[in-house]
Structure formats: C-alpha cells, structure tokens
Structure 1
Amino acid sequence: MDLDLSQEERLFREAIRDFAMRAVKERNLDQLPSVPSELFKEMGRLGYLSLNISEAYGGSPGSWVMIGIMIEEIAKFSIGLSHLIVNQYEVMLTIDRFGSKQIKEEFLPKMVAGKSMASLAFSEAGEAGFRIGEVGSGYIVDGEGYVATFGVQPETVLLFGEAHTFLFVPLSLSGIEIVLLNTTGLFPSQLSSVRFCHVHVPGTHLIGQEQHGSPACIESGFYSPLYRILSGLICIGAAEEALRFATNYAKARKAFGKSICSFGAILGRICEGYALLEQARLFSYRALSIMDRGGSVKREAIVCAWLYPKIAWKVIEEALLIHGHYGYSRELRLQQMLRDVMAFEFLLGSEEALKRQLGLELIGREVMPDDISRSMC
C-alpha cells in the first residue's frame, strides 16, 4: 500500500532513497564511533536539514510528511544517524519557535547547513538532576543529566532543567564535562552523561519562559509529538529493512528441495511482520499529515511512542529467527538492530507512563484520579 503523497513528496522520497543508499548504507555507520562531519555538511547542502525552519535563517518550506520520509528511509541503514537527525530537528525547531533573536541568528544558519550539531539533555528528578539558579542577568547550572545523542561532537545542548526551565547551552563554556556511556546500541549516535559544575549561562539563552506554563516545555524535545512520531518511524524503517532482508533470504534459502519461504511457519512470520509494519507506517504518516493541516496529534504521538518500538522489536526478532543461528552473528545487522530499537523504549518513556498519558487524553482530566492526573501535569 502506498501513501497519498504529493508530487513534491514523491520526488523527495526518491531523492532521499538515493542519498541513503549512496551516502549512508555504503559507509556502514553502525561500525563507526561517530558520524563523519562531511555527511552532515552534505545533508545541509542538499537542504535535508532545513525543512520547516524559517527562511530568514536558511530554512526552506516543506511538510512534516517529508521529514518523516527522510527519517524512515535513513533508518533503514542507520538507526543512530536517523536519531541524530531527529534530535537536530527538535533543537532547531525549538530555537526557531521559542528562542531569542540573538540565538536564532547565531546558531540556526550553521545548524541548517550541517556545520553545527546540537543535542538534547534532560534532567532527572531530585538531587541527581540539573539545578538551575538565577544570578544577575543569567543562570548558574550545576548537576548531571543524560544527553540523547552524542555520536557527533555537538557544539550546543538544549537543556531540559528542573521546573521545566529550558536553556540552550554552548558546550564551550567553562565547567562542562562530557562522559560517553558504554552502551550496546544506537551507534554511531551514543548516549552520554553531561556534567555541569557552576556553569554560567547568559540570560539570552533561555528558551521560552521560566518554569511551568511555557509552551516550550510541552511542545519541544522529549515532550514533542513530532519527536515521538519520528522516533516511531525510526523503528518502523529499521524493521522494514530487516523484514526485506529476511524475505530475500527466505526466497533464496532451500530446504527439502524448495524455498523455505513456502513453509507455513516462515511465511506466517513474513506476513505478520508486513501487516504490523504497514498499519504502523500508515498511522504515523496520517499523524504527520494532520500536523501539516495544523491539527493536534497528541494521542497519535503517544501511540507511536508506546507501540512502535515493541512492534519493531518483534519484527526484527522474527527476521533474525528466519536466518537461524546465522542471524545471531555479527556478520548481519539484525542483532544490532534489536539493541538499537530497544533504546527507544526508555528514550520515549515507560509503557506505563505512556498508557497513563493516553488514558488522560481519552478519558479526560476531570474524571481521572487526582494522584494520576497530578503526576501527568
């Protein structure tokens, strides 16, 4: 089943597929510690990092569907790279919408051109999180949190601090330490810890308004419906490639004189994977299409975050099992794909929290128990 794409979106899909095959697949990025900087610069030259960013800062018109197409196609060959791109877009869109004119003029043109990368960092609750205090016309940041992506050394980080205070922090400031975590997936994107020791951040780097009530705190980064939908498409794109790979293997592999894809057990796995992914894919693009028309997709985004990493895991696992013991070897990407999609189950929030959020949307705050309603504000 194909999507009801515009002519522009169809041409964009063909272009991004060619780019993914040429520039992403051939580089075998899963084996690299970081993404080559020239790859991001090429994406900038081709306009892939400029969609829906204000033209005054180097952006260009586009649709949310086009961004979804790009993420899905690149995820087929590098889950880590597609995740880096999603994070880059979230930072750029947040700055474009809520940042000061000074921040926009200084950073957005470089980011759109692929010459400067940014990351997202969120604070844990309590003593373990970031502590942001006002001093003069700026802020002092102390504490530690976890950065979503650090495969390419970024110049800046969008910091989600306590009480929903957001700061855009240049990592060149004194007192910042980056510690790479020894993770098992999301290469060449890599989770990291970022530590702040009495770091002074200028007041002009505040994003939105201070503390609760700022639209930035509920519409950006990890809270963003776009982040959730695109992360779901990362998982879908990876699972589509795993299923395609397993299907081709099953056609070529012979047992008892015929292709193993003719056996009911193998054929059933392929058919079930196709059905699950097509439903998820169409639901995701429906949500992006609603966004293009200016509609709200909070419910749809929660579904994408809750279900699609699990669906992708199931499809990739079945693709691995179709290959038998060979599928478990490091010669194939399937075992790496499983670890990669697992990361989205904690990056996007726990299943229980997402179900509570969806329940609040479906049932309404007025009839939800007070303790649950307050915990989701």
Structure 2
Amino acid sequence: MSVFGLTEDQLAIRNAVRTFARADLAPGYLERATSTEFPWEVHRQVAGLGVLGMLAGPDHNPLEHDDYVAAGLAIEELAYADFNVANAVIPVMLMSSLIAAHASPAIRDRWLPPLIAGETYIAFGLTEPHSGSDATALRTTAVADGDGYLLTGEKTSVTMLGHAEAMIVTAQTVRDGENRGVSTFLVDLSADGLAKSDIPDTGWKPMGRGVLHLDGVRVPADALIGAEGSAFRSVLGGFDFTRPLLALTGIGCAQSCLDLTADYVRDRVAFGEPLSRFEGVSFPLAEHSTTLEAARLLCYSALWRRNEGLRHTAEAAMSKWYGPLSASAAVKDCLLLHGNYGYATEYGLEQRLRDVMAVEIADGTAQIQKIIIARERYGRDFVPYSKA
C-alpha cells in the first residue's frame, strides 16, 4: 500500500460505524451469536448508516463512488463489536455490486433498493458437493429453454440461505446442446422446483448455512447476471475484495479480544502482581498485536489496490490466508489468558473463537489461497490449479 493516510470520507465512515458499533452492537453480541434468529432490526440499522450500499454504485453509495478501503473500515469496526453482523454485510456488498453492474433493469429495480435498505437478503450459490473452490467443476446446469432457462443441480454451504428471498446461482450454461460456459442467474427462492435444508454449525448461528436443491427451476432470460458464460469475468472477480473483507472480520473480532484481555490481565492479580507484569502474559499480547497489524495492512493493501484499479488477486489471497490464521490464534490465546473464565460460555470468548474459525474456511481455505498466491507470483504452470 503506497498511501497510509485515510481520506476525510474514509475517516468519517470509520468513526460513524465505530460509534454505532461499540455503543449499540457490542452489548448484544453474545445473545445474538447464540441465536439462530437473524437480527433484522440491527441489519436495518447498519443499512441506515449507508454501509450496505457502499459498493452498489453512485446512486446508492453515501460516498457517491465505490471505495473498498472505506468498506473495509466499516466491516472491521462492525466485527470489533459483532462478528456475525459484520459477516452478514459482506454478501450484501458483493450481491449489490454485481446487480448494480451486471443485472437487467428489471432485476435492479426489483431487488437492489430493498437489498441495500436491509429489507431483504440475496444469498450466493457457488459451492457444490463435488466442487468447492474449483469453480470450473460445477455440475449445476442452466439449459436454455424458450425465453428462459431451466436450472438443475445442488448448491451447498450457502450462507444465509434460511433468511434469503433470492440467490445468485452459478451454473454451466447449455444452449442447443453445447456448453456455453459458467453463467450466473438470480433465482427467486419462492420459485417451483426448489428444496432447502439446513447445515448445523458451531458458529455463525444467526446467519446459518444451507443446501439448495434445484430441479428444473425456470428463470426468465432477464434473470441472467452479465452475459452468458461470463461468470469468471463478471462475478468471480468479486472474491478479490470479499477475501480481504472476510479477513478483516476476523481481525476486528480478534482486536476486541486483545483489548478485552489487556484490561483483564491489568486488573487480575497473581502472586502479588498484576498478570500484565509477567512476560508469559504480556509477550503473547505483544506478538498478536504485531501479527494482527501485519494482517490488517495486507487487507488494506489489497483494498487500496482495487481502489486504484491495480491487480490485487495475490494480495487478496495473502490477506485471506494470513488474516484468519492470525485472528484465530489471537482469540485462542486470549481465551487461555482468561483461564477458566475464558472457557465459560457467559463471557463470550469461546463463542468468538468458534465464530472466527469459520473465516479460515469461507471463500477458500489457506491451502487454496497459497495456490492462488503461487500462481499469481510465479505463473499458472507453477501449480496444478490453472483452469480458472
């Protein structure tokens, strides 16, 4: 990142979200985190700050232009107070940016205003039982049929499926018996031919994940997001900004744990001294402060490069590998430094650990990120992952 200072607009966004998050979100985190109910009222309050429209184009963005650094600042501040509320924002940012840039007027008019107002939710269906990060191996098909398409297949690990009204689905497109490549479609989840099931998780409970089965689901032609066969160009490039945003949710949550732990060890006395006086306590906090700062800078470097129109796929993958790894390690040590209190459900550290571990998996594991980094830095023939 070449410029370390923040603009006045970026500072204003960060300060507004920080004030709201720490005063209004933080006190209710644990209650929300242990419930399977999605906090719609809180989601709408976040929308009221303009956060949900930050990447939805000038007509909906409070800054009047897409600013990925500002989006990262908002996400990190939300995650400091409530990890799950922050993570629910990221798919909205991705879906709204895709709809604003690539959807038909009918889709934009129907779905974009309520989406960024926090009144509805659109999930994203990419992962399948036989293909996770290998998007070229999709088995879901969209067969052109008359004035629309018939979608058949299965999507798994769909975040927010139980709360969404629609979903953007990726599928191998078939026209006149020929494969035309991977396309994306907006599917109304009230359509015929759909069946949903839940995936019980140890964290992310307010959002939830699920499996969607599609059996000949008909969608109109204007449900196509972008051109036929253009998913890799118009949709999947969005991962280059969602990956650092996801990492920042872990970093924000871990930072709040470090701050909480610093206060605790300053007050807790053992052997006649505050715990903070012992190197076995203070050194881990110093180490995690360092690794979190390094991870944070990786994230904002990737987001700044996107703002500048520079290639940032490697930086996004670096942030997604290193950020969640650093965050999980920090939260775990904070739990241990609290001793038996840290393991108790009433204090929330064990809940934060279960929540934060999820970002080590979402949008590609560390192993996938390292493959991407090697490919980007040393060439597509350097690793056996060169189709996408």
Q: Which TM-score applies when normalising by structure 1?
A: 0.91
Runs of 4+ in 1 over 6 A off after TM superposition: none
2 CA distance for matches of 1:30 and 1:82? Answer: 12
- Residue 122 of structure 1: CA displacement? 1.5
| Residue number among 28, 37, 42 corresponding to 1:39 in the alignment | 42
| Residue number among 181, 204, 210 corresponding to 1:186 in the alignment | 204
| Greater Cα offset, 259-268 or 61-70 | 61-70
| Residue number among 142, 147, 157 corresponding to 1:132 in the alignment | 142
2 CA distance for matches of 1:128 and 1:157? Answer: 16
Quickly say closer, same or farther: Cα 1:303–1:243, change in 2 above 3 A: same
Could you say what secondary structure the match of 2:345 adopts? coil
1 CA distance for matches of 2:169 and 2:326? Answer: 30
Quote the residue 2:72 is aligned against.
Answer: 68
Quote the residue 1:177 is aligned against.
Answer: 195
2 CA distance for matches of 1:57 and 1:296? Answer: 26
| Residue number among 148, 152, 156 corresponding to 2:158 in the alignment | 148
Alignment of 1:319-358 (within 5 A): 319-358=334-373
2 CA distance for matches of 1:312 and 1:265? Answer: 19
Which one-letter code corresponds to 2:39 in the other structure?
P
- Residue 217 of structure 1: CA displacement? 4.0
- Residue 41 of structure 1: CA displacement? 2.4
Contact 1:139 1:201 in 2 (8 A): yes
Contact 2:55 2:93 in 1 (8 A): no
- Residue 307 of structure 1: CA displacement? 1.6
Which one-letter code corresponds to 1:310 in the other structure?
L
2 CA distance for matches of 1:204 and 1:170? Answer: 12
1:106 aligns with 2:110: yes
Quote the residue 1:209 is aligned against.
Answer: 227
Contact 1:229 1:305 in 2 (8 A): yes
Could you say what secondary structure the match of 1:158 adopts? strand
Structure 1: runs of 5 or more not aligned: none
2 CA distance for matches of 1:202 and 1:141? Answer: 11
Quickly say closer, same or farther: Cα 1:58–1:350, change in 2 above 3 A: closer
2 CA distance for matches of 1:339 and 1:315? Answer: 13
| Greater Cα offset, 131-140 or 20-29 | 20-29
2 CA distance for matches of 1:176 and 1:272? Answer: 49
Quote the residue 2:382 is aligned against.
Answer: 368
2 CA distance for matches of 1:214 and 1:244? Answer: 41
Could you say what secondary structure the match of 1:76 adopts? helix
Quote the residue 1:250 is aligned against.
Answer: 265
Quickly say closer, same or farther: Cα 1:261–1:151, change in 2 above 3 A: farther
- Residue 272 of structure 1: CA displacement? 0.3
Contact 2:157 2:211 in 1 (8 A): yes
- Residue 3 of structure 1: CA displacement? 5.4
Map Cα deviations across residues 207-240 of structure 1 (whole Å, 9 max, x no partner): 12223675124313xxx11110100101101110
1 CA distance for matches of 2:193 and 2:62? Answer: 33
Contact 1:129 1:145 in 2 (8 A): no
Which one-letter code corresponds to 2:170 in the other structure?
F
- Residue 190 of structure 1: CA displacement? 0.9
Contact 2:87 2:249 in 1 (8 A): yes
1:301 aligns with 2:302: no
1 CA distance for matches of 2:8 and 2:63? Answer: 17
1 CA distance for matches of 2:267 and 2:148? Answer: 64
Alignment of 1:246-285 (within 5 A): 246-285=261-300
Quote the residue 1:231 is aligned against.
Answer: 246
Quote the residue 1:195 is aligned against.
Answer: 213
Quote the residue 2:178 is aligned against.
Answer: none
Quickly say closer, same or farther: Cα 1:213–1:341, change in 2 above 3 A: closer
- Residue 128 of structure 1: CA displacement? 8.9
Quote the residue 2:52 is aligned against.
Answer: 49
| Greater Cα offset, 82-91 or 103-112 | 103-112
Could you say what secondary structure the match of 2:151 adopts? strand
Contact 2:125 2:169 in 1 (8 A): yes
Could you say what secondary structure the match of 1:273 adopts? helix
Quote the residue 2:5 is aligned against.
Answer: 4
Map Cα deviations across residues 111-167 of structure 1 (whole Å, 9 max, x no partner): 122222111112424799533222112111222212432177111111122452211
- Residue 302 of structure 1: CA displacement? 0.6
Quickly say closer, same or farther: Cα 1:151–1:186, change in 2 above 3 A: farther
1 CA distance for matches of 2:73 and 2:215? Answer: 40
2 CA distance for matches of 1:242 and 1:354? Answer: 26
Alignment of 1:75-114 (within 5 A): 75-114=79-118
Which one-letter code corresponds to 1:300 in the other structure?
E
Contact 2:342 2:349 in 1 (8 A): yes
Percent pairwise identity: 26
Could you say what secondary structure the match of 2:191 adopts? coil
Structure 2: runs of 5 or more not aligned: 132-136, 173-180
- Residue 59 of structure 1: CA displacement? 6.5
Contact 1:128 1:145 in 2 (8 A): no
| Greater Cα offset, 255-264 or 163-172 | 163-172
Q: Which TM-score applies when normalising by structure 2?
A: 0.89
Aligned length: 369
